[in-house]
Structure 1
Amino acid sequence: MADETKGASNNQRLLAAAKEDNLELIQEVFEAGDFDINFQDGLGNTALHYAASLGCPEVLEEILSYDGCDVDPINRIEKATPLHLALRLEDPEMRKYIVESLLEAGADVKIKDKNGDTALDVVPSSDTELRAAIRKAQASASVSNDDFADDDDDEPGSGSGSE
């Protein structure tokens, strides 16, 4: 196979690896270093956008495992995250795998695309399993530190008042 990425920057090679579902190339880029895992092309797409939208599970997992990977980058034209794009995959099993991987990595289900759609708005209505997974992620995200009791009386101890 001719190497079409010869002479390309490692950022460009990273994007090419995701577009081509090329696990070997992405591993080469990781080993070489000198790249930005969150590098965006002219359309604002990252390698994660491409891996998610094209249904490339091994490349996606490799990207998500890299320290510093932003799981919620927003592209320029659609204002879509990788999660938005993954929800459009035709193959239901691939869609489920990619979406669940993104959710496990902490994808924000509340981000709206240019149409004002969140992940739940984009998921096919017939896909009850993914709808439930997104609702669960929404519920988890709505639980914040404000929901927990705070011991702010500046005294040591459990705050129970007992000595």
Structure 2
Amino acid sequence: MADEEGASPKELIFEACRRNNTSLLEETIADITSSASKGGGNPTELVAQILNTARDGVGNGVLHVAASYGSYEVLDILLDQEGLEIDEIDRMEQDTPLHKAVRYANSLDKSDWAPHGHPVVEILLDAGCDPRIRNKAKLRPFELVDPRNTELRSILQKGEFAMQAGGDVVEEDDDGPTGSASDSD
């Protein structure tokens, strides 16, 4: 994994999250996987365990850091990791990664909201992050959005509705009223 005097895998992952460095992240995950395989462990479980327990000095997890820095490509890789906890809570504000993504979008110039801020929020929603979770101040991510950013407010409202509807959404199928059309006599 890492040299005795070098950075630990967790430190490398956080660096990748801060800099949107996909090469460093993929290399570190590959090293963790290789180490687990050599040691007879389950590589998928070890990667998930390291990602889920990694915390920076103020209690942010890897998704918090990636979302805070708008590291879209790194988020994409992290969210593909099996067993990753996507709604973890940070220690300071009790924010989820989705709260951090909204704060990141708010920090951008208005002209950068749609091209840079919204995709970070959308990738987290697409991965299943729950926009209904409240932080320490009892605020949902929607309530943190700059009021002028109506598009992001709409994105989060749709995310909340989708979560609320959950199992109530009816999927249309082409089987007709009696079942499969492949039934033959």
1:20 aligns with: 19
Q: Residue by residue, what CA displacement relative to the aligned partner does 1:26-76 show, whole Å, maximum 9, x if unpaired?
A: 011111125412222342211111110011111111111111122211100
Count how many residue pairs are aligned between Structure 1 and Structure 2. 148
Write the distance in 2 (CA, Å) between the matches of 1:19 and 1:50. 6
- Offset of 1:144 from its aligned partner? 4.2
Give identity over the alignment, percent.
34
- Quote how far apart the aligned CAs of 1:133 are: 1.4
| Distance verdict in 2 for CA 1:139–1:57, change over 3 Å | same
Question: Do 1:15 and 1:47's aligned partners in 2 also have CA atoms closer than 8 Å?
Answer: yes
More helix, by proportion: 2
Asked if residue 53 in structure 1 is aligned to residue 53 in structure 2, the reply is no
Q: Residue in 2 aligned with 1:37?
A: 51
Tell me whether 60-69 or 97-106 shows the greater mean CA deviation: 60-69
Partner of 1:140: 162
Structure 1 residues 6-155: aligned runs within 5 Å: 7-33=6-32, 34-35=46-47, 36-38=50-52, 39-89=54-104, 90=108, 91-92=112-113, 93-145=115-167, 147=168
Distance in 1 separating the partners of 2:64 and 2:136: 16
Spell out, residue by residue over 1:133-154, the C-alpha distance to the aligned partner (whole angstroms, 9 max, x if none).
Answer: 1111111111244x58xxxxxx
TM-score, normalised to structure 2's length?
Answer: 0.71
SS at match of 2:84: coil
TM-score, normalisation: structure 1: 0.80
CA distance in 1 between partners of 2:22 and 2:142 (Å):
30
- Rounded to whole Å, the distance in 1 between the matches of 2:18 and 2:5 is 16
Cα distance change of structure 1 residues 131 and 6 upon mapping to structure 2, 3 Å threshold: farther
> Is the 8 Å Cα contact of residues 53 and 86 (structure 1) preserved in structure 2?
yes
Kindly report the root-mean-square deviation, in angstroms, between the aligned alpha carbons of the 2 structures: 2.6
Where do 5+ consecutive residues of structure 2 fail to align?
Answer: 33-45, 170-178, 180-185
Deviation at 1:16, TM superposition (A): 1.8
User: Cα offset for 1:12?
Assistant: 2.2
Q: Which one-letter code corresponds to 1:127 in the other structure?
A: N
